[in-house]
Structure 1
Amino acid sequence: MVNREKFLEYFDENKTKEKKCIQNTKNRRIVFMEEINGEKYYIKKYIPRKQRKRSIAFGLQRDRAEHYKFISGKLEKLDIPHIKPEFVIINKKSFFERESILVTKDGGVPLVEISNFHQNMKLLDKFFDYFIRLCKNGIYPTDYNYKGTLVNNDELYLIDFDSYRTKLVVTKKFKKYVIYKLARRTYMETNLGKEFDHYLKSQVFRVRKELGW
């Protein structure tokens, strides 16, 4: 069992220079990968800027790492397979300034790496089934994509849900936005030919029909 304190070094900029960084989004969301005792861990470091850091400070928004844990709890109640957080660590420097770390274990192969969709129809159908269940339960993924789902032992797991939104009431405009984002991201990430494009369109149509949107 890895100790929580092991990951505190990711708050030290000098030490992170020696770490394996696999993604850096404008120094706001930095993803590291480290293998410990034969297991791969992904460490996401969040550094809120501008309006977001003010909203977090005044309690109007959750920190991204804390939000991941919050959504994980909701997915647990819905019995939707997902990659659970191992640790969530907050480093509050001042009232406005903070950093946070989310630690997860490696959970499988990204769905986006599947090249033969005929052999994986059940997984792809489940990808859209999860989306429908989320929306029906007041959870709205605005960045839902194949990279945010992992395949392990023929099961589909959600990951990267730190930007999922929760709402009690949604407007027609917001519903349209959520569907637009779903369609745009799923089309962007694939290049498997006209047959697959037709499948995607039929699934987006099914989503809208089942949600009544």
Structure 2
Amino acid sequence: MSVYQRGVRRRLAPMLDGDTRRIALAHAILLALPGVPVMRYGDEIGMGDDLSLPERYAVRTPMQWSAAANAGFSRAARDDLPVKPVASGRFRYQRINVETALRHPRSLLHRVRNMVLARTEYTEPGSLPFTLLTLKPDAVLGLLYRSESREVLMLANCSQQAVEVLLPPLAEGYWSPILEDKLYQDGLHGGKDARLALSGYGYRWFSRSLS
């Protein structure tokens, strides 16, 4: 599992049992936290690892671009590749690849892309401290950022159960949705006793202008 007593030689998808909901949630939390997010290539499509390889080579297999030979990474003969793509099991390149993911609007790739676009537009997590909200149920993580022009609220349900979240008092007014793991029917209006639905391993981001 670990290497050099300080690093993990596993990819995200195998550690989360290939569960797309949990993998997407992990990315949503990563991008909601302060600082510069660091992602390993291939995690955006749910690539696996090859534990038969030594040390960190387990997570350095070729990018899985397509279901073509060598995962579309190289035209060389497979035996000539110094490190070969994952070709067996649930994370094999014939099943998990960019070309396939691009064809499905709800794929992990599209979901992570939307998260990155949202994080690019809403830069508060990269530059400001957050307020950690006390929420019920406590399986829900809530982060609130405030800049001179707006507030940004980020929620993540770390439980597999769908929940109704009781929020602390928020500023009055309508909070515009930025990012959601699915289409929800309810909206967020500030004030006391605001409640929101969150699916199992779901996430929702909102913003409110201060101008």
TM > 0.5 between the two?
no
Sort the TM-score into its range (normalised by shorter chain).
Answer: under 0.3
Larger Rg: 2
Choose between structure 1 and 2: higher helix proportion: 1
- TM-score, with structure 1 as normaliser: 0.26
TM-score by length of 2: 0.26
